[in-house]
Amino acid sequence: MRLPALLLALFAAGCSGAPAQLAHPAAQDGIMLKGSGEFTTSGPDAITYDRKLVPVGAQANLTAESTAGRTLTSLVVEGFRPERTYGAHLHTKPCGPKGEDAGPHYQHVPGQVSAASEVWLDFTTDASGAGHSTARNDWVLDSARLPRSLIVHAKPTTTSGPDIGAAGDRAACLTLK
């Protein structure tokens, strides 16, 4: 199983601030989607919209491995506000000057708002502002319609009711290339 190696690689990377990147291994190997960066106010790959929630210099590292009928997405952050819960979702467009530029949530089944169709990566930071999250979905990413960013939201994701999927204002964005 590749999960321990993937998580070890994420923690070993230490959110190095390397530019976001996207790799497409051979079809039999699936799709590997990556993004990492240090948040600034000007982006373009890692941009903070709310410096109180995601300070300049905070870092994030995202890896999504999509193969064998499943997608495993892991997020590691550091330098965020301590002991706070954030919502985090994959979105359809790259980051831009405004949070809305990243478009809506990426949905495996368009129009279906749920943890089964979307990638929800809510996390709670520790006393030092570090946190992590993993989402497991029973589907593979479509190479013709990939998510292009991760949005960190101001609030945890609403998991039921009329506001399902809502997570407050867009605090930061990490572009996936």
Domains of the chain: 3-175 (2.60.40.200)
Cα–Cα distance measured from residue 103 to residue 87, given in angstroms and rounded to the nearest whole number: 16
Reading the block at residue 93, the tokens are 């467009």
pLDDT of res. 123: 98
pLDDT of res. 101: 96
Reading the block at residue 30, the tokens are 């699936």
pLDDT of res. 12: 41
Q: Answer for the pair 89, 113: CB distance below 8 angstroms, yes or no.
A: no
pLDDT of res. 43: 79
Specify the DSSP class assigned to residue 22: E
Q: Answer for the pair 129, 80: CB distance below 8 angstroms, yes or no.
A: yes
pLDDT of res. 5: 40
Cα–Cα distance measured from residue 36 to residue 164, given in angstroms and rounded to the nearest whole number: 28
Per-residue pLDDT of the chain (177 residues; tens, 9 = 90+): 333 343 334 444 444 443 333 444 433 469 999 999 999 999 789 999 999 999 999 999 999 999 999 999 999 999 999 999 999 999 999 999 999 999 999 999 999 999 999 999 999 999 999 999 999 999 999 999 999 999 999 999 999 999 999 999 999 999 998
Q: Which 3 state secondary structure label does DSSP give 118?
A: coil
Q: How far apart are the first and last CA of the chain?
A: 26
pLDDT of res. 29: 67
